[in-house]
Amino acid sequence: MTWVSRLCETYDNCSAGVLKADTEKSLLPIGHTTQYAQIEIVLDADGNFRSARALDRNNDENEAVTIIPCTEDSANRTRGLEPHPLFDKLQYVAGDYSTYVPGKESGFDAYVNNLRRWCDSPYSHPMIRAVLSYVLKRTMIADLVSEKVLYLSEAGEILEKWTGSDEEKPLLFRQPSRPADAFVRFCVEIPGMPDSRVWMNEEVRQRFIAYYTHMFPNTGTCYVTGKTGVPVSRKSAGKIRNAGDRAKIISSNDDTGFTFRGRFASHDQAVTLSYEASQKSMNALKWLVAKQGYRNGDQAIVAWGTKDEPLPPVCGDGVDLWGDLVHDLDAIPDTKEEFASRLNKAIAGYSAELNDSSNVTVMGLDSTNGLQGRLSLTFYRELTGSEFLKRIMRWHTTCIWYPLFRSYRDNDGKNRWIRFRGAPSPVDIAVAAYGSSLNDKLKKATVERLLPCIVDGKPLPRDLVEAASMRASRPFAMEKWEFNRTLGVACALIRKYYNDSMNDRTSLEEYREVWSVELDSLNTDRSYLFGRLLAYARKIEEYSLYLGGTEARQTNAERFMLQFRKRPDKTWDQLYQKLLPYLSRFRTKGPEFFGNRCEAGMNSVMDALQSSGGFTGEPLGPTYLLGYQSQLNQFEVEYKMMKARKAESKKDDGGL
């Protein structure tokens, strides 16, 4: 139960500063949960009705989010009547509900009995007594009708569907829930109390916690704190991943028949948690997942420091590591030096608050039945802050490539692509390996397999590397943007996989980079050289089409890519024959002409292959993609240098 202790520690360290936040991402007090309220009723200190209004969740979602007291039973209610202690639906809080909604059982009596017990206890509060005084008048729905918050049909029942024009549609009819199911919260105006919002009153919260724990029906020993004779939890909190999540991490529902598979007679023999530990741990986890968790369908992954220190994202790409730069494209690093500088600054910023005494936890959560049933811990690691940063730094240093691509929406709402140097995200890796149409189950499994590679420094799964490299060898099967994205991710994986194989258990300071992002003209690896050769073939055809004014299209090199990987010698002979017409046109130009320089470079690579005996039909390894992409990148570097020289020359000539 170490993870429960770690969450409780986090709760105790962080609760003082964030309990009052009026948002769905609040760190909740124990014995409280959140609900979207649709109606707000204002009372005076004596419980007299003052006013009411409908809340516009569509306009401001945070305005409708309400932190409410709850019991274990009310927080887990599915069927039957189990009222919340203070705020609830009309079905519970309106004494005249049955008059206006015939045929549906009212929970008013149960609600009032519970509220009266609280008001009669030493833990009562003037605001709570005002609410009790009002609801006992049994005029709530009539009051809401008079305030034009609710409307009645011709039969005198609550109107469920608006039949008038959209312009005149009342606010309550624009909300997701039915008017008869509206959730109600209260404001109580008491002289001397500046804030009338009952749900934001800290004293009301603390008095309910004291009241509920004092009245708690079950006591026992807490396996986390070791305390005895304390209130123990029987029902773990839900809503871990979102407001509709009913899956539980800790659950016991096996009290009949072959109970607990014959191992225990009751759930207490398995484990008991104090109500306080259960509430603190689950509320802390909810808060962390909402605030900084990574979500992938039903899968949730969250990393946190016990003192809420800022952490680099575990499942992000290179851009995520140093913040949102998509609106400042000039700040996105595309050179080796810029990347190293920004990465070091980012890690240095995090290390200011993370050190050997900091505690960092990484947790993965998932369920097999959507938002129902059991929520499983699929991954769990505890590290010191400095060790966590070292491992994140290692991943983002050893798994980089250029260019990688990331989409974003510009100010006009249009989808744009940016190029960056960095590491791909786990989801990008899954898509590169299995395609954008992969199902959620495979995507989640892939992300789960990659977590040990990021957090523990484990080797990449070879099948993932092979799958990505195979898809990157099939440009004819995808659109150009998808191929470019797949190629970049595949190269990042290939480079890391082969570099890691030569640096087993090596520290980052001693890490030897055999395969680089930049072009390595001294690399004599057969597959790498063949990849460079393929890049030359592509560039020569592209350049010739450009000179001829022909619309850009997929080149022969791209169409033959998969075949080239399987039988490089014969495929190259075919490609070379198709290049001859282009080369013959280039030869009418001087030796410094770009097309002729490409031919010279291509011949140099061919000589290296033939002299080493590597020009054979043996299939190529994945590293051919590194040679291919690096050579294409080099063409781009040379083009930028040429433009810079021309601009400088024009400047020296006085702009003529």
Clarify whether residues 496 and 452 are in a common domain: yes
Q: How far apart are CA 636 and CA 535, in angstroms?
A: 12
**How far does Cα 412 stand from its chain's mean position?**
24
Domain annotation covers residue 262:
no
Clarify whether residues 497 and 569 are in a common domain: no
For 463-515, what is each residue's pLDDT tens digit?
999 999 999 999 999 999 999 999 999 999 999 999 999 987 778 888 999 99
Clarify whether residues 551 and 473 are in a common domain: no
Clarify whether residues 352 and 493 are in a common domain: yes
pLDDT attached to residue 258: 47
Task: Out of 187, 215, 243, pick the residue that ends a domain.
Answer: 215
The three-class DSSP label of residue 491 is helix
Sign of CA dihedral 255, 232, 21, 327: negative
DSSP secondary-structure letter at 487? H
For 50-77, what is each residue's pLDDT tens digit?
999 999 887 777 788 899 999 999 988 8
Clarify whether residues 194 and 66 are in a common domain: yes
Domain annotation covers residue 518:
no
Q: How far apart are CA 439 and CA 344, in angstroms?
A: 36
Query: Nearest Cα to 596, choosing from 583, 607, 581?
Result: 583
pLDDT attached to residue 340: 85
> Residue 605 pLDDT more than 70?
yes
Q: How far apart are CA 10 and CA 21, in angstroms?
A: 17
Domain count, the chain: 3
Domain annotation covers residue 504:
yes
Q: What are phi and psi of 35, to 5 degrees?
A: -145, 150
Domain annotation covers residue 11:
no
Clarify whether residues 556 and 462 are in a common domain: no
For 530-582, what is each residue's pLDDT tens digit?
999 999 999 999 999 988 888 888 999 999 999 999 999 999 999 999 999 99
Give burial (CB, 10 Å; 0-12/13-18/19+) of 243.
middle
Provide CB contacts within 8 A for 331, sequence distance 6+.
Answer: 325
Q: What are phi and psi of 232, to 5 degrees?
A: -115, 145
Clarify whether residues 145 and 55 are in a common domain: yes
Cα–Cα distances in angstroms (integers) from residue 417 to residues 256, 276, 438, in the given order:
57, 48, 22
Cα–Cα distances in angstroms (integers) from residue 533 to residues 218, 322, 401, 630, in the given order:
75, 36, 20, 11
Task: Out of 215, 234, 251, pick the residue that ends a domain.
Answer: 215
382 strand-pairing partners: 361
Task: Out of 183, 215, 247, pick the residue that ends a domain.
Answer: 215
Let me know: does 322 contact 346? Beta carbons within 8 Å: yes
For 342-380, what is each residue's pLDDT tens digit?
888 888 888 988 988 999 999 999 987 777 778 899 999
- pTM score of the predicted model: 0.88
Clarify whether residues 365 and 414 are in a common domain: yes
Clarify whether residues 87 and 180 are in a common domain: yes
Q: How far apart are CA 314 and CA 395, in angstroms?
A: 10
Clarify whether residues 67 and 165 are in a common domain: yes
Clarify whether residues 457 and 594 are in a common domain: no
The three-class DSSP label of residue 363 is strand
DSSP secondary-structure letter at 460? P
Domain that holds residue 305: 293-510
Domain annotation covers residue 530:
yes
For 169-199, what is each residue's pLDDT tens digit?
999 998 888 999 999 999 999 999 999 999 9
Domain annotation covers residue 279:
no
Domain annotation covers residue 59:
yes
Q: How far apart are CA 229 and CA 237, in angstroms?
A: 21
Domain annotation covers residue 287:
no
